[in-house]
Amino acid sequence: MTEVSRVVEVPPEAVFAVLADGWLYSGWVVGSSHIRDVDEHWPAVGSRVHHSVGPWPMHIQDVTVVKAVEPGTFLSLEAKGWPLGTAQVGLTLTPHGEGRTRIRMTEHVVRGPGKVLPEAVQALIATPRNKEALARLADLAAGKYANRKSAQS
């Protein structure tokens, strides 16, 4: 299993607000290029984000499914992303001091060709991508949180 983490300067509810907006999925998930649809009850268990993976015009139509959720704290996704296969992705949000959040992201391939790769090779592929995903998630959360705070003022 690959694991990365990052501390962001916003509270957990600000990070979860981004995760809970399926239309923002391609904004933080590296490789997702287009959102075609989001189930109305996202991020409830079983709901899906219908997305494309890869560059146009060679993109692949795929979905990501919510496997478990604890609002404000945890989101578990089954993310399809060929050619490597399907991965189980976990995002855990924990308070890290006043108004800060530690985001922990885990990933492991559960089906498809990538499952036969040694874990060290999977980590070489996933770690840089997931670090970038957390950087994007942090920026979206910070921007969304700043906009919400200024609207309340």
Q: Report all structural domains of the chain as residue ranges with CATH numbers, in order of start.
A: 2-152 (3.30.530.20)
Alpha-carbon distance 79 to 16, whole Å? 18
Query: What residues of the chain score a pLDDT lower than 50?
Result: none
Alpha-carbon distance 58 to 145, whole Å? 35
pLDDT of residue 152: 72
pLDDT of residue 149: 66
pLDDT of residue 55: 78
pLDDT of residue 15: 97
pLDDT of residue 45: 98
pLDDT of residue 150: 65
pTM (two decimals): 0.91
Contacts of 121 (CB under 8 A, 6+ apart): none
Alpha-carbon distance 72 to 75, whole Å? 9
Cis peptide bond N-terminal to 43, omega within 30:
yes
Token pair, residue 40, equals 């109305």
151 C-beta neighbours (distance < 10 Å), count: 7
